[in-house]
């Protein structure tokens, strides 16, 4: 079990380790279909080739888990083993058949993949999005469910606002998560794509990209620069940690405003809920 996963995940998977107590069947490869809820879209070729060689020599040592469907069986866990079996020209694979409804299968499939450390940032983001949509839960609830922080969830979900072209570069590991987070702050997708190309051509690190983004921001008439109020900066940090999202406090003479960023309707509801808690505690 990967580090950082919550008790909810452990409860979902506590039965996954008892395969040896179940009846293992040899199923025809032709009767097995990929998992429709599989968040992983990219399977690294080298590890898959290594697994294929192992399967050719030793066979599949751990059975895959499937559920019965209208047209054979659908994979719940073990798609890499199944792909290796096909590549090794096996006709049958050992499998355990589980009785799962759509919701259970979706949860197990997505969470089983979230255990792995080799998911790309975009795949991880889409897994979070799938869980939130299918389970109808907020970012805060999801964070507790998978044992991650709210900012971790929010930062990944922001990647889904990037263009498909940049998401592909992230998936191919041409750009890092840090590059993606920086580019996600740009509203103009064309500018973001141009900067992404520049990163690749010039081998820019995240800090250099952030500097470029700052320089590319629309220029306004220069105004006398005011010293940042250290108290307001400190309060921004407190609020940013409290709400798990970007917060800006802007003050002009005796007036000011607080800007709190939200990424979706669920995220807005989460923030409003936290604001409600603060109001109740104060009054």
Give the residue numbers marked as catalytic: 79
Decide: 8 and 146 in contact? Cβ < 8 Å: yes
- Tell me the three-class secondary structure of 8-27, residue by residue: HHHHHHCCHHHHHHCCCEEE
Q: How many CA atoms lie within 13 A of 138 on its CB side?
A: 16
| Rounded (10°) angle between helices 139-146 and 121-135 | 110
Q: Write phi, then psi, for 72 (nearest 5 degrees).
A: 100, -120
Residue with tokens 């995220």: 267
Question: Which H or E element spans position 252?
Answer: strand 247-252
Q: What is the DSSP letter of 115?
A: T
The span from the CA of 242 to the CA of 54, in Å, is 49
Decide: 251 and 240 in contact? Cβ < 8 Å: no
Decide: 79 and 38 in contact? Cβ < 8 Å: yes
The span from the CA of 235 to the CA of 98, in Å, is 51
């Amino acid at each position: 079990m990967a580090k950082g996963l919550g008790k909810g995940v452990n409860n979902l998977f506590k039965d996954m380790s008892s395969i040896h107590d179940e009846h293992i069947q040899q199923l025809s490869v032709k009767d097995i279909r990929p998992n429709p809820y599989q968040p992983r879209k990219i399977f690294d070729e080298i590890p898959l080739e290594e697994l294929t060689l192992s399967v050719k020599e030793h066979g599949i040592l751990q059975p895959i888990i499937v559920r019965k469907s209208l047209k054979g069986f659908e994979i719940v866990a073990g798609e890499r083993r199944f792909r290796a079996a096909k590549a090794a020209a096996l006709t049958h694979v050992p499998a355990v058949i589980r009785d799962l409804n759509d919701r259970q299968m979706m949860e197990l499939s997505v969470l089983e993949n979230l255990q792995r450390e080799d998911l790309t940032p975009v795949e991880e983001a889409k897994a979070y999005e799938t869980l939130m949509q299918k389970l109808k839960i907020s970012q805060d609830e999801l964070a507790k469910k998978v044992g991650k922080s709210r900012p971790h969830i929010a930062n990944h979900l922001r990647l889904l606002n990037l263009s498909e072209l940049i998401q592909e570069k992230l998936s191919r590991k041409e750009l890092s998560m840090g590059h993606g987070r920086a580019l996600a702050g740009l509203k103009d997708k064309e500018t973001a794509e141009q900067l992404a190309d520049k990163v690749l051509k010039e081998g820019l690190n995240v800090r250099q990209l952030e500097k470029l983004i700052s320089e590319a921001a629309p220029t306004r008439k220069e105004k006398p620069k005011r010293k940042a109020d250290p108290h307001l900066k400190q309060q921004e940090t407190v609020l940013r940690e409290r709400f798990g999202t970007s917060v800006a406090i802007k003050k002009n003479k005796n007036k000011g405003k607080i800007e709190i960023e939200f990424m979706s309707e669920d995220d807005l509801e989460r923030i409003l809920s936290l604001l409600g808690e603060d109001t109740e505690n104060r009054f």
